[in-house]
């Protein structure tokens, strides 16, 4: 891992985002900042990893700066503020997101030169078998939740031949899971 002095902000970052990154560097709760170009897209991602005990006031300040920047519309840059701990199930990041977008080569700031290893060592790796197992476990969990929801809400309606109601219930189940996943990743 590079020392703090060796991190350089890519030249293609607009000045307004550069100023935002500089302000974020001054906050003690910001541990890592990543800037990632999404392959085959004009979208860019600026990901801030904050300490798990970051207070609501700090998050509110960050979110107000982000909304004022309007970076997605102005610069095709999606900005997210997330926390991550090495304990399972306490991360805002899915393992595939970690492997695709939070590699050490995308770090533009780290409060400690060993921060990336300390935070992501258990979740990121180039071991294909480990990645495959993570994906299999995640897929099995999602499939089980979907099956449970269909069995609880849709099948009873189908058994009573209430096909329109079953269709509505199925749509509601999917909408619920999409909203829940969206809230988890944006909060």
pTM over 0.85: no
Closest by alpha carbon to 48, among 26, 69, 28, 24? 24
Per-residue pLDDT of the chain (187 residues; tens, 9 = 90+): 444 445 667 778 888 998 999 899 888 899 888 888 887 888 888 888 888 888 888 888 898 889 888 888 888 888 888 877 665 556 666 655 666 667 777 888 888 877 777 666 655 555 667 667 766 776 777 778 778 888 888 888 889 888 888 888 888 877 766 655 444 444 4
């Amino acid at each position: 891992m590079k020392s703090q002095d060796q991190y350089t902000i890519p030249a293609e970052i607009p000045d307004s985002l550069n100023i935002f990154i500089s302000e974020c560097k001054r906050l003690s709760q910001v541990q890592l900042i990543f800037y990632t170009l999404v392959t085959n897209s004009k979208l860019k991602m600026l990901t801030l990893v904050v300490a798990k005990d970051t207070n609501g006031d700090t998050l509110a300040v960050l979110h107000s700066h982000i909304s004022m920047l309007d970076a997605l519309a102005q610069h095709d840059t999606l900005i997210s503020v997330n926390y991550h701990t090495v304990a399972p199930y306490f991360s805002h990041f899915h393992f595939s997101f970690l492997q695709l977008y939070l590699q050490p080569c995308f770090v533009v700031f780290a409060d400690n030169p060993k921060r990336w290893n300390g935070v992501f060592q258990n979740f990121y790796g180039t071991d294909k078998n480990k990645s495959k197992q993570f994906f299999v476990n995640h897929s099995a969990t999602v499939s089980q939740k979907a099956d449970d929801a269909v069995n609880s809400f849709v099948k009873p309606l189908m058994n009573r031949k209430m096909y329109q109601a079953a269709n509505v219930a199925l749509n509601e189940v999917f909408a619920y899971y999409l909203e829940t996943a969206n809230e988890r990743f944006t909060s």
